[in-house]
Every structure is written in structure tokens, then in C-alpha cells.
A and B are shown apart, each in its own frame.
Chain A
Amino acid sequence: MDWAYFLQQLINGLTLGAIYGLIAIGYTMVYGIIGMINFAHGEIYMIGAFHSLITFLICQAAGISGILPLTLLLMLFVSMVLTSIYGWGVERVAYRPLRGSFRLAALISAIGMSIFLQNFVQISQGARVKPMQPLVEGGITLMESANFDVQLSYMQIVIIVLTFVLMVVFSLLIAKTSLGRAQRACEQDRTMAGLLGVNVDRTISTTFVMGAALASVAGMMVTLYYGVIDFYIGFLAGVKAFTAAVLGGIGSLPGAMLGGLLIGLIEAFWSGYLTIEYKDVATFGILVLVLIFRPWGLLGKPEVEKV
């Protein structure tokens, strides 16, 4: 066994998994609080990627793209803010009017929203693949062997560290602050939370905003990591992140992160050792298996039917 090759796949898988995890949090939080799958979430991630690219181009035009930390921070900040507005708007326009309606209505509305956003970006930004120049270059060589050098690029370090920091911050937000407490209360009993003075509508909006902000970070990371984006990247990434959320146990925040990492690792190892063409088959095969054998996921709680 070639350990160098294994280590490289592990690093690649963790990077990919961190990105999936960030998107999966949006699915899992929205599912937790209103019990629906926000299928437009992948599109939000794609829009986040576009926002970061556009911000970069503006920075370049303004001549400040040479100052790398400033550019990166601006990209992160602008992309998070603008994408959050999209997340808020999607909830306001497509889901809130349907909240009292049957569950399928919101789901269909989500799919409609997803198609709308995809086409909106396709028309407004063009259908061609958008290139992004690499901003964070270089890396560390961890290990050298006869035919293979293990590389950990600085970009991968940025992705993994940033994801970790965001995870900690969001976990604290949910566990410690009154906003997080209100979110958990709404998750369990929205009516009762409202009776205790919690503004349920605003809490749900905040959840969408938080999910969108995290997805936009994922979008920016992908833009910088792969260097190409187009209007269609949201679909596959969205469905994979959804798989990650289901695998981890939908509704569970640590579950989403764990599921994301696992899906990233599975994809990396499958591509590395088996066939790269079948990596999506592997991922969605897992979705099917989880749904059949453990629908509540790894960290979720099985729903106990009360008699």
C-alpha cells in the first residue's frame, strides 16, 4: 500500500468534505426548524460563488487585488452579506406564504425556486464557465516518496481552518445565545415559542440567513479552490450536501458536518482507488442505503412513534 497516495486522498477528501459540510448545515438547520428540505440551497451556494467572483473582479478593477488579505476578506464579507439577502428573500417569497399549507407545497416551491435561480444566473451572468485566477498559491510538501509527493496546499489549509472556525462559532451560537435557544425552541414547538414571545417568523428568517451565509463561504472556497464556476454547480453540490445532511442525521448540526466529511472522503477515496467516473454513483448509492437502513442518519434520533 502506498501511504503517500492514501494521505493525499485523505487531504483532498477532508477539503471537499469541509465544503460539503458547510452547505449541509444550511439543509439541516432549515429542516430542523420548519421540517422542509430547502432544495434551492444549492443555488444559494452557487450564487455565493458568483458573488465572490464578482467581488474579486471589482477589487481587481479598483486595483486593490494585490493586497491579498484585504481582497479575500472583502470577497468573504460581500459574498456573505449579498448571499444572505438571497437566502432571506427565498424564504420570504417562496416559503413563508406556504407555511400553513401542506408540506409538499413548500417542497415544490423550493424546486421551482431552484430552477428560477439557476436560470436567473444563467441569463444574467452568461452560460459559459467562468475562470478564476488562483489567489492563494503554493503549499507544503508533507512527504516525498519514489513516485509521489504529498501536497497540502495553502488553499486547503485555509478551507479546513475556516470551516473549523465557522463550525465552532455556529455551534456556540446555537448552544449559548438567546437566538440559538429561540431556534431550538422553534424547532420543537413553534406555537409554544410564539406564545412565549419569540418572534417565530424572524427566527426562521435568521435560520435561512445563517444557512445562506455558510453556503456562500463554501461557494467562495470552491471558486478559489477549483478556479472555475458556472451557473450549474449548485445542483450537484446541493444534492451531495443534502446526502451529507441525511447521512449525518438531518436536523443535527454536528451530523451535517460529519456527514459532509464522510461524503468528501468517500468521494476522494473512490476516485483515487476505484473509478473516478463512478464517484457520484457511490455518493448517491450511500444516500439510498442510508434511507433504507438508517433513515435517521448517524447522529440523528430515530422518531419514536408514540402510541
Chain B
Amino acid sequence: MTDNKLLEVEHLTMRFGGLVAIDNLSFNANKREITAIIGPNGAGKTTVFNCLTGFYVPTEGRLTLHAEDGPRLLERTEGFRIPRNNGVARTFQNIRLFTGMTVLENLIVAQHNRLMEASAFSIAGLFNLGSYAKAEKEAVEKAKFWLEKVGLYEQADWNAGNLPYGSQRRLEIARAMCTDPSLLCLDEPAAGLNPRESAELNILLQSIRDDQGVGCLLIEHDMSVVMQISDHVVVLDYGKKIADGDPEAVKNDPAVIRAYLGEEEDDELPPEVAADLHLDPKAH
């Protein structure tokens, strides 16, 4: 079981001044699995992502990524190095494509490092020398593979900003995959998608898990997506983990139901107020 671990989050705590956004959170995400992080708004889900991708340095805790070349401590890695060498890739809640570039270029920028190495800091690139030409060809091949996969092959030369919303979402995932990640973090990928697009997304994510062997970490509010495709669900509430397990178990966990639906309010009201409410519900 241990060699299947991809990401180990241990005692992660993130404080902003007096506010504790994440409080002693520990969970694992496995290889070839989709791990969903769910929870009410403000539970600290995106903060977890921000810690994983180097935006925040955690106040406490350890984040270990078991990539192919051995374990890496993400909290000690500079932001731009995190995606390198089978690292972590990420998408955002709002779409952040390079809208002034073509669809194809968006995918090639994601392969910047390999191209940069091949081009000796662009000098070879300028004269189109052999090593660079080869690397660029490979980059284009990879980009085409992903374009086909997300069904945007025909639109390769479009300006990315002109794509319809659902296609932009898929392009973002394709771009993230072009960095060759071992862990793909998706922040609400189904937000704003219609049911059909959402179903297509499910298929895409399952294919990324099964065919590419990439572990996914997913923040999602759409429970149908979560329940259908995730292998493992972590529930956060006020920065604390309140449940962890397979989707079915989590769905029936009383703590989760309480966090989502709230406590039975009437019990907490002072007796006279409750009595008033029940005696005269039509008042006001």
C-alpha cells in the first residue's frame, strides 16, 4: 500500500494572521486514483491547492510528492520548479488560458522547460538547429495528442480566447497535462459546464487516471461528478478534516451531513423563542 502513495499531506496548517485556514490536515492521495476534496465554501480547499503549488508556504506541516525520481518536499520547492520533472500541475476556478496565443501555443508553452534545455537558452531556437527542431517537433506531437484527446484538434490555430467556455476548460486540462505531471490538481473543473460537457469531463478525467496513470486531486461542488468518478473523498470543514474514505462511506457520514445541512436549528433556540415560533408562525 505504501508504494502506491503519490501525495502525502502531513499536519498541514496554514494561518493568515489570526485566521486558521487549514488546521492540522493530513491525508494521502494515491497514484492512479482520483481524490476529491469537498467541503462547504470557505473550508480551505483552494488553500490546500495554493500550498501544494507553491503560492503559500505552509505555516506548519509537510507535503511530500512521491514522483518517479523519488520523494520531493513541495513546501520547500520554489513555485516554478514544482511543475518540473513530473511534478504538480494545476488549473484554477476561473479560466486562465493565455488568451492572446493560439490553442497550440498554449500547449507548447507548457513544455517550456524541455524546449529551453534543448535550445540552449533559445540561441539554437533562433537558428532552428537540429536539437531544437527535434524537441519542438516532439512538443508539437504531444500537443496534438492532447488536442485530439480533448476534441480541439480542429481549433489548434484559433486564438484560445475565442473558444467556447467548455472547450476552454478542456484546453486548460490539456495544457496542465502537457507539463507531464504526476499529480494533477483541478479546482472546480465542472463549474459552469452543462450536463453534457460535465459528462465529457468525467470521461476525460477517468482517461487521465487510467490511461496516463496520473493521480488527480479534485475540488468540486458538483456532487454528481464527485460521486461518479472519485475513488477517495476528503471532506473539509473550517479547515479541519471531518471525513476521509470512499464516496459511499462519506456520503452517509453524519459529520458530513451536518456540515452541509447544518444542525437542527430549533434545538438551539431559547425555549420561549421556539415556543413563539410554533405558537404563531404567521407573525410578521
- Chain A contacts to B: CB under 8 angstroms: 169, 172-173, 176-182, 184-185, 187-189, 191-200
Cβ-defined contact, B116 with A179, below 8 A: yes
A195 is contacted by which of B89, B108, B121, B122 (Cβ under 8 Å)? B89
Cβ-defined contact, B80 with A182, below 8 A: no
Given A177-B122, A180-B122; A195-B109 close (CB under 8 Å) = no
Contact with A along B105-133 (1 / 0, CB 8 A): 10011101101100101100110100000
Cβ-defined contact, A181 with B96, below 8 A: no
Complex: A182 Cα to B101 Cα, angstroms:
11
- Count chain B residues whose beta carbon lies closer than 8 angstroms to a beta carbon of A: 35
B202 within 8 A of A: no
Complex: A45 Cα to B162 Cα, angstroms:
40
Complex: A191 Cα to B96 Cα, angstroms:
9
Cβ-defined contact, B119 with A178, below 8 A: yes
Cβ-defined contact, A178 with B101, below 8 A: no
Question: Can you list 23 A-B pairs, Cβ within 8 angstroms, ordered by A?
Answer: A169-B126, A173-B125, A176-B125, A177-B119, A177-B126, A178-B116, A178-B136, A182-B109, A189-B98, A191-B55, A192-B92, A192-B96, A194-B80, A195-B53, A195-B89, A195-B90, A196-B83, A196-B89, A196-B112, A197-B81, A197-B83, A197-B84, A197-B179
Chain B, range 126-184, C-beta contacts under 8 Å to A = 126, 128, 136, 175-176, 179
- Chain B contacts to A: CB under 8 angstroms: 53, 55, 79-84, 87, 89-90, 92, 96, 98-101, 105, 108-110, 112-113, 115-116, 119, 121-122, 125-126, 128, 136, 175-176, 179
Cβ-defined contact, B175 with A196, below 8 A: yes
- The A/B interface has a contact count, at CB < 8 Å, of 86
CB distance from B2 to the nearest CB of A (A): 29
Cβ-defined contact, A185 with B98, below 8 A: yes
B116 cross-chain contacts in A, Cβ below 8 A:
178-179, 182
Chain B residue at smallest Cβ distance from A180: B122
Given A180-B122, A189-B96; A196-B101 close (CB under 8 Å) = no
Supplied contacts A188-B101, A197-B110, 8 more A-B pairs, CB within 8 Å? A176-B128, A178-B112, A179-B119, A179-B121, A181-B101, A185-B98, A192-B98, A195-B80
Chain A residue at smallest Cβ distance from B180: A197
CB distance from A222 to the nearest CB of B (A): 27
A188 is contacted by which of B83, B98, B128, B175 (Cβ under 8 Å)? B98
Complex: A84 Cα to B175 Cα, angstroms:
34
Given A178-B125, A181-B105; A200-B80 close (CB under 8 Å) = yes
Complex: A198 Cα to B112 Cα, angstroms:
6
Complex: A181 Cα to B112 Cα, angstroms:
8
Given A194-B80, A197-B83, A197-B112; A185-B101 close (CB under 8 Å) = yes
Complex: A224 Cα to B89 Cα, angstroms:
52
Complex: A196 Cα to B98 Cα, angstroms:
12
B80 cross-chain contacts in A, Cβ below 8 A:
194-195, 197-200
Complex: A196 Cα to B280 Cα, angstroms:
61
CB distance from B96 to the nearest CB of A (A): 5
Which one of B53, B92, B105, B112 has the highest number of Cβ atoms from chain A below 10 Å of its Cβ?
Answer: B112
A194 cross-chain contacts in B, Cβ below 8 A:
79-80
Chain A residue at smallest Cβ distance from B53: A195
Complex: A169 Cα to B125 Cα, angstroms:
12
Complex: A53 Cα to B115 Cα, angstroms:
38
Cβ-defined contact, B126 with A188, below 8 A: no
CB distance from A239 to the nearest CB of B (A): 29
Given A172-B126, A178-B115; A198-B79 close (CB under 8 Å) = no
B99 cross-chain contacts in A, Cβ below 8 A:
188
Cβ-defined contact, B79 with A184, below 8 A: no
A198 cross-chain contacts in B, Cβ below 8 A:
80, 109, 112-113
A200 cross-chain contacts in B, Cβ below 8 A:
80
B98 cross-chain contacts in A, Cβ below 8 A:
184-185, 188-189, 192
CB distance from B276 to the nearest CB of A (A): 46
Complex: A197 Cα to B84 Cα, angstroms:
6
Cβ-defined contact, A184 with B100, below 8 A: yes
Which one of A187, A191, A194 has the highest number of Cβ atoms from chain B below 10 Å of its Cβ?
Answer: A194
Complex: A195 Cα to B125 Cα, angstroms:
23
Complex: A192 Cα to B96 Cα, angstroms:
7
Complex: A173 Cα to B122 Cα, angstroms:
8
